Amino acid sequence: MNQISPVQTDTAATAATPDLRRVNSNPDFWYPVAWSSALRRNKTLAVSFAGIPMVLVRPEEGTVFALFDRCPHRQVPLSKGTVNGQTVRCCYHGWAFGRSGRCIDVPYLGKGKMPNGVRTFPVREEGGLIFVFPGDPAKADTVPFPKLAQTANPAYKTKQFGPRVNCHYTFMHENLMDMNHQFLHRRQMGQIKARFLGQDKGEDFIEARYSFMRCAGQQPLAERLIFGKHKDLNGREQPIEEVVTIRTEYPYQTLRITDKDGDLIMDLWTAYVPVDKDERVTQAFGLLSILRPQTPLLIDLIWPALGWFTNRIFLEDKEIVELEQAAWNEVGHDRNVEIFPVVKALRELLTRCGIAQDAAPQADAAPVALAAPAACAATPETTA
Amino acid sequence: MNQISPVQTDTAATAATPDLRRVNSNPDFWYPVAWSSALRRNKTLAVSFAGIPMVLVRPEEGTVFALFDRCPHRQVPLSKGTVNGQTVRCCYHGWAFGRSGRCIDVPYLGKGKMPNGVRTFPVREEGGLIFVFPGDPAKADTVPFPKLAQTANPAYKTKQFGPRVNCHYTFMHENLMDMNHQFLHRRQMGQIKARFLGQDKGEDFIEARYSFMRCAGQQPLAERLIFGKHKDLNGREQPIEEVVTIRTEYPYQTLRITDKDGDLIMDLWTAYVPVDKDERVTQAFGLLSILRPQTPLLIDLIWPALGWFTNRIFLEDKEIVELEQAAWNEVGHDRNVEIFPVVKALRELLTRCGIAQDAAPQADAAPVALAAPAACAATPETTA
Amino acid sequence: MNQISPVQTDTAATAATPDLRRVNSNPDFWYPVAWSSALRRNKTLAVSFAGIPMVLVRPEEGTVFALFDRCPHRQVPLSKGTVNGQTVRCCYHGWAFGRSGRCIDVPYLGKGKMPNGVRTFPVREEGGLIFVFPGDPAKADTVPFPKLAQTANPAYKTKQFGPRVNCHYTFMHENLMDMNHQFLHRRQMGQIKARFLGQDKGEDFIEARYSFMRCAGQQPLAERLIFGKHKDLNGREQPIEEVVTIRTEYPYQTLRITDKDGDLIMDLWTAYVPVDKDERVTQAFGLLSILRPQTPLLIDLIWPALGWFTNRIFLEDKEIVELEQAAWNEVGHDRNVEIFPVVKALRELLTRCGIAQDAAPQADAAPVALAAPAACAATPETTA
């Protein structure tokens, strides 16, 4: 009876390296929290970042603003209230709060001393997404805003997708970064084998490059339409010459595909936004830009198939990362035994740039004034 | 960026003043636990007070009695058993218990020494409600029994309502007492503004009086039928001259409306009964008495509309108090910033008359022999 | 007001006698975890023993094997993977594991050093059931394998049943052992009264014998077909002369009925297998063998009725033991007041042969190498 211990080399958390699933997202970055289309004029929208309730308000005039989504009076969500001009009025006793968070009216109180207001969050709206800066607002202007795939480039058509996944955001990073998991998608993509070409890394990023080889099975239609046929004149499969580059640049992740001429044919940008305080539920926001083919009609033709195809693949990824989270919940700590250097380095990056839960501010306190770890602000250095 | 702290003045619990949502209901009072109509002859009914399971038994002959709803043998609910004469027999092994709680038969045991019996609770049935006295039974006879609206007065018609609400009972008291929350009901009642007329308070009660002014919107039909039109000859809205008096007389709450002649036209009595041990689920029992109009038919005509109207309003209240409880659950303590003196005084009253959770007996022990806080037994004094 | 204390004599856990509902199943026995019919060739099946996830694998050739159901790489269930020859391949990155638990392939790694494998469990398949040995594998060959009712005897027809019950396994043992609970089944079986005839006990077993007397009500059809009519020539009910013997022989339980000639007419074997780590969910596996009557057709005729009848009775038992568990959950410890000596002795047996939770290995560690309590390995002695 072979009694091989499954715990021999697991990645136990130590004082030096906390459990990766207890590393919170660093709030000193811009995070998308809603699609622009979900928030109409004169309406509110309740969103959440790591358990911090926020109300987004789009007034009749002007830009969206974001407040802590609890009326300071009785803690009910301001998002249940009404929008009047540049204010949001609590649905319960009608207290009104302005863009600055200040309380500007209590209907049954004289115009003198007003109660305290609520916390505000910096907001930016770009590429069809509403972003907030949940951390120290003083840093909002200096922290770089991400490039959102090719949303601004008319040569590309961009698809939005925003699944909610019941797992820690780090599982999502690992899933996409490790292209050796093509076995998971064998039913959708046939038997494809990734070939690891190399990596780059720096203080706040890691990047892996792969090419792919079809081992067996049919090439799916959507794949063929984007990448073309990979057969020689005798109908034999040829190595796929595109290069897939996956990059986690904290806290975002991108996947870019370039063809043999080096042209960017697909550009995926994604952010994994923690919903709950423990960060075990993740709202993903993804932008997938596809280079329009020379036959302009083609992209519109394949668009539905592409949606169906990416959705099928994503559902497999969602199921597996949720199983990973479930296994973590079972034992209460990370037992993964990683052997792939890129993923090992990714785990270090996520630990380094995130905020270990014990070190994090208490649930109750607003996570302001956290010093961004120096590591993540440094200039990236490139390693082969 | 305006960083107004939402916690600056919140009502933090201290050693002297416990968190209001951790103040349990004082068991040394009569609490309704069921409608009389819900318990038929020869039947049992399982009810609960603050996590104490109770079985109500209505025998073929005689009054209802109440026992601890666990067979002492194997702890299954006696309420699953059968009623035979003046006994209830456990459904599992057939042990039988009498009105006194004594075990009087174990079918497979000789008639000699019987096992222990179960705890009993004093019961009173009045006004269509079954009340129990969950506390020290020695006090049951001396603690005043409440006046149940106008159930005994044929000049009034009384409506019963009994919603279950997922919040601490104190939120219910605050909701009704603070008439400044009419903004919440703007869709049902139009824009009404409360005018605070004054308050009375004593050791075990607080009372607030309001009049109302319609600011805008149509007067609802049900309201008009009860109170009459509030328009002058030119069709302009007039101040509503009725006075609304809300009174928490621990542990009950009443809302009475008198017209300009001082006649009582509406009398609401309500009790908020904790269901679970943590008292975060409340079973409300309400009796709403309406003075029959001089045209007797009228009351029957408006009755359905009145039911619909009060139900719509109540659903809004239920939603909002449950949101308050949800916010409390999120942070684990009360962060309300109260500015209205009546509500402040009400909070003090509920804290004073209730039982702070830390001081409460353990879940397991039956909450008997608690000294009723002296404050709540004292003669009320009236303050302007 | 009679204030009889329900806690006066309850079975409080002490250092010497732990709470019975915190006594875990001893893993050093053979436990069924699945029906053979549920696992097809080239397929996997996820099962569980006391929170230990296991994957059963039935390869194209050869016997079933069982592995710890977590890939050591990323902890996802191997049961989601594919079976290839004598291996199971993880669905995520395609790592493959053999019957011995060893990792024999990582598709993207050289053939050199392989990562750790997974734990294996001894497996036996018999009587339509797949058994595992969750404890110390070194003991698997010496621990006696149970006799599975009359599955191997063609004179009997055997019915399988496998309900999942939300309670600790000890409630199941007590339920069946205490035949004084016929009151529970009064609607199915009419008024039957058990007569206790005597008991035997030893270090690892206890046995109780009963006869039954119908007090009132109709004899059910299924019962009559198996046991015959119990009426004298004048149509009066006669004492039922069959003897029912219930025996817990740790960890299994049997119920055997012999007729007046001592012939075994019914033989029930059952095992109660804990599903979750706290052992508050039990998967029962039962085999009910009925002696084929001399008219062979008769058994097939009554079979459906027998199924319906036993199912109705079982549903009542399931409801009541789940209510017992619910009451235990409420107060967090056992408050039963037992008066029946057989059940008292059964409780001692289950405590003696099981593993008290505090003494049990941690959730995380595999429960291997536990010394089986000496008591349960000793030769049974018989007491009247």
pLDDT in tens, B147-163: 999 999 999 999 999 99
Smallest Cβ–Cβ distance between B73 and the set C2, C4, C336 belongs to C336
Nearest chain C residue to A2 by CA: give it: C100
Q: How far apart are CA A168 and CA A279, in angstroms?
A: 6
Q: State how far the Cα of A281 lies from the Cα of B227, in Å rounded to an integer.
A: 52
pLDDT tens digits, one per residue of A303-314: 887 888 888 899
pLDDT value at residue B3: 35
Chain B residues in contact with A73 by the CB 8 A cut-off are 336-339
pLDDT of B7 over the 70 cut: no
Read off the pLDDT band of B367 (50, 70, 90). very low
Q: Which of C28, C69, C74 to probe the A interface (max A CBs under 10 A)?
A: C74
> Which residues does chain C have within 8 Å of residue B106's beta carbon, measured at their own beta carbons?
339
- Which chains form contacts with chain A, at 3 or more CB pairs under 8 Å? B, C
Model confidence over B56-95: pLDDT tens digits?
999 999 999 999 999 999 999 999 999 999 999 999 999 9
Cα separation of A15 and B243, whole Å? 66
Q: Residues A155-175: what's their mean pLDDT?
A: 96
- Binding-face residues of B in 298-317 toward A, CB within 8 A: none
ipTM value, please give it.
Answer: 0.85
Which subunits count as partners of chain B given 3+ CB pairs below 8 Å?
A, C
Angle at C44 between CA C43 and CA C46, to 5 degrees: 155
Query: What pLDDT score does A132 carry?
Result: 98
The pLDDT value given to residue C230? 54
Q: Give which of C270, C297, C36 is closest to C147, Cα–Cα.
A: C270
C118–chain A Cβ distance below 8 A for any pair = yes
In this predicted structure, the answer to whether residue B368 has a pLDDT above a threshold of 60 is no
DSSP helix, strand, coil percent of chain C (3-state; round to 5): 25, 30, 45
From B335, B336, B287, B307, select the one nearest B147 (Cα to Cα).
Answer: B287
Q: How many helices (H) and strands (E) does chain B have?
A: 6, 21
Chain B: residue whose CA lies nearest to C186: B91
Higher-confidence position of A109 and B165: B165
Average of per-residue pLDDT values in chain C: 86
Over the stretch A312-350, which tens digit does the pLDDT of each residue have?
A: 899 999 999 999 999 999 999 999 999 999 999 999 999
B120 interaction partners in chain C (CB closer than 8 Å): 1-4
Is pLDDT at B371 greater than 50 in this prediction? Answer: no
pLDDT given at position C288: 94
Nearest beta carbon to residue A327 from set C51, C70, C117: C70
Taking contacts as CB-CB distances below 8 angstroms, the residues of chain B near A116 are 4-6, 8-9, 337
pLDDT band of A365, cuts 50, 70, 90: very low
Tokens 């409506």, located at residue: B159
pLDDT at residue B374, as a whole number? 40
Nearest residue on chain C to B51, alpha-carbon basis = C330
C3·B120 Cβ contact <8 A:
yes
Our CA-based measurement puts residue B277 at a distance from the nearest CA of chain C, in whole angstroms, of 10
Mean pLDDT of B327-355: 95
**pLDDT at position B14:** 56
B94: chain C residues, CB-CB within 8 Å: 180, 183
Q: Chain A residues with CB inside 8 Å of C69's CB? A: none
Mean pLDDT for all residues in chain B: 86
Question: What pLDDT does C219 receive?
Answer: 63
Residue B45 has pLDDT above 90, yes or no: yes
Domains of chain B and CATH, by start = 30-139 (2.102.10.10), 156-357 (3.90.380.10)
Chain C contact present for A196, CB below 8 A:
yes
Contact C331, C13 (CB under 8 A): no
At A233-289, the pLDDT tens digits run 565 555 567 899 999 999 999 999 998 888 999 999 999 999 999 999 999 999 999
Three-state secondary structure call for residue C334: coil
Residues of chain C positioned with their CB less than 8 A from the CB of B122: 1
Asked if residues B250 and B350 have their Cβ atoms less than 8 Å apart, the reply is yes
10-residue averages of pLDDT along chain C (384 residues): 38 69 98 98 98 98 97 97 97 97 91 88 98 97 97 95 96 96 86 88 96 70 59 57 93 94 94 98 96 82 81 93 97 92 97 83 38 39 35
Per DSSP, the three-state class of A130 is strand
**pLDDT of B378 above 50:** no
pLDDT attached to residue B217:
59
Check C194 against B122: CB less than 8 A apart. Answer: no
Instruction: For residue B72, list chain C residues with Cβ-Cβ distance below 8 A.
Output: 6, 10, 335, 337
Q: Which amino acid would we find at residue C254?
A: T
Q: Could you give the CA distance from residue A150 to residue C366 in angstroms, rounded to a whole number? A: 51
Question: A189 falls in which pLDDT band (50, 70, 90)?
Answer: confident
Q: Do C183 and B94 touch (CB under 8 A)?
A: yes
pLDDT per position as a tens digit, C67-91: 999 999 999 999 999 999 999 999 9
Percent residues over pLDDT 70 in chain A? 82
Give the one of A51, A92, A137 whose C-beta lies nearest to B183's C-beta. A92
Q: C53: which chain A residues are within 8 Å (Cβ-Cβ)?
A: 330
Closest partner residue to C339 (CB to CB) among B75, B80, B115 is B115
Cα–Cα nearest to A16, from A376, A351, A372, A337:
A351
Q: CA B39, CA C198: separation in Å to the nearest integer?
A: 43
Specify the pLDDT at position B230: 54
Q: Six-digit token pair at C172?
A: 């199941």
Q: Do B320 and A76 touch (CB under 8 A)?
A: yes
What are the backbone dihedrals phi and psi of residue B38, each rounded to the nearest 5 degrees, phi first? -85, -10
